Homo-oligomer: A and B are copies of this chain.
Amino acid sequence: MATEPPRRVRFGIIGCANIAKKVSRAIFLSPNSTIVAIGSRSLDKAIAFAKENGYPASAKAYGSYEAVLDDPNVDAVYIPLPTSLHLQWAVLAARKKKHVLLEKPVALNVGELDKILEACESSGVQYMDATMWMHHPRTAEMKAFLSDSLRFGQLKAVHSIFSHNSGTDFLKNDIRMKPDLDALGALGDTGWYCIRAILWASDYQLPKTVTALSNVEYNELGVILSCGASLQFRDNKLATFYCSFLSNLTMEISVLGSNGYLRVHDFVIPFQENVGPFYVNANTKFAELSIGIEPAPTEYSIETDLPQEALMVKEFASLVGKIKENGSETEKKWGEISRKTQLVVDAVKASIEKGFEPIEVIV
């Protein structure tokens, strides 16, 4: 006898990372999801995490990740584990028919990601990476401007920065400082967003080549603490980015077109939770005598009832719900976008390793 399908997608969380606090809140804020299980290598830690983050009394706490995957009440897992553990646990989750919301960077390289995507595909489970800003309504509004041939025109140049300077304790102890846990360092943690921003602005056209810029900083274990790169496309546009663990918290995209310009200063995490601003110049000319410009720039403020991370969960849970309740196909675009991002991450890393040679991006 078929049971009534659940109205909310039931999440299990694997690992008690800091970011899991924010995503737990997002799952509770989203109208179509809830949390039914949390797993940690330490049962005490799982229990404490559930309590601290307001999990319902009915939510199970487990002393292992596997127990979460074996819980029949879990529809989907959110995986905030260190990157080096993604392959193992995302693949296992998919094999156990759990839909996968995977923290970024999604894998150590595209070979690993392909195994994860194949596992999701063959099990018919939804995959999505946890790149939250993709789901803010501002992102769609910005895209509408970039798609406006009169006001923006042809894309010419993109630049993105994501850096944070999280202090001595972070630089000493965070998992992102340990090559066995998160071998991609700042490139995976912050460069991921810059690369995604560039691909987003380019309608997910991949660059022809990627060239790292020779200013890489490393910690004593060889983990990248800051780097930059330029991306060369088949047309004449240029993209550059800079990512770092050693610079002030900064989250920029600037997109230059033949007829317009867009900038956003808080693309990764909006300065305010309920509103996302961006700034546009269109068909800007020098005023008479080249004194000032016409017209003045415009600020847009895009409001949102739910924070972007809750909108991400809502979108993911909506896809999962359709698969579970209507037998819909999985949505492939999230895997495709993730894969393109990882391809560029890999190319930057390869370019650094090969002494800043241009690296061809091979799909």
Contacts and interface: CB of A to CB of B under 8 A. Distances in A.
Interface of A: 18-19, 21-22, 25, 153, 156-157, 159, 161, 163-166, 211, 213-217, 226, 228, 230, 232-233, 236-238, 240, 242, 244, 246-250, 252, 254, 256-261, 263, 265-266, 269-273, 279, 281-286, 289-293, 296-297, 307, 358
A248 B271 contact: no
A227 to B, nearest CB: 9
B21 A289 contact: yes
Contact of A228 (B238, B246, B269): B238
B226 A230 contact: no
Contacts of A236: 215-217, 226
A323 to B, nearest CB: 30
A26 to B, nearest CB: 10
Nearest to A161: B256
B161 A248 contact: no
A89 B250 CA distance: 46
Contacts of A238: 213, 215, 228, 242
A254 B256 contact: no
27 contacts: A21-B289, A25-B289, A157-B228, A157-B242, A157-B247, A159-B161, A161-B254, A161-B256, A165-B258, A213-B232, A213-B238, A214-B232, A215-B232, A215-B236, A226-B236, A228-B238, A242-B256, A246-B258, A247-B256, A247-B258, A248-B261, A249-B281, A250-B284, A252-B263, A254-B254, A271-B292, A271-B293
A290 B22 contact: yes
A271 B19 CA distance: 41
Contacts of A159: 159, 161, 240, 242
Given A230-B240, A238-B215, A269-B293, A250 B258 contact: no
B248 A283 contact: yes
Nearest to A227: B238
Contacts of A214: 232, 358
A286 to B, nearest CB: 7
A230 B213 contact: yes
B226 A228 contact: no
Nearest to A358: B214
Nearest to A254: B252
Contacts of A249: 281, 284-286, 293
Contacts of A244: 156-157, 256
A153 B230 contact: no
Contacts of A211: 213
A15 to B, nearest CB: 16
B259 A248 contact: yes
Contact of A22 (B232, B240, B242, B291): B291
B259 A156 contact: no
Contacts of A265: 263, 279, 297
Contacts of A19: 290
A170 B145 CA distance: 26
Given A215-B237, A240-B159, A244-B157, A266 B250 contact: no
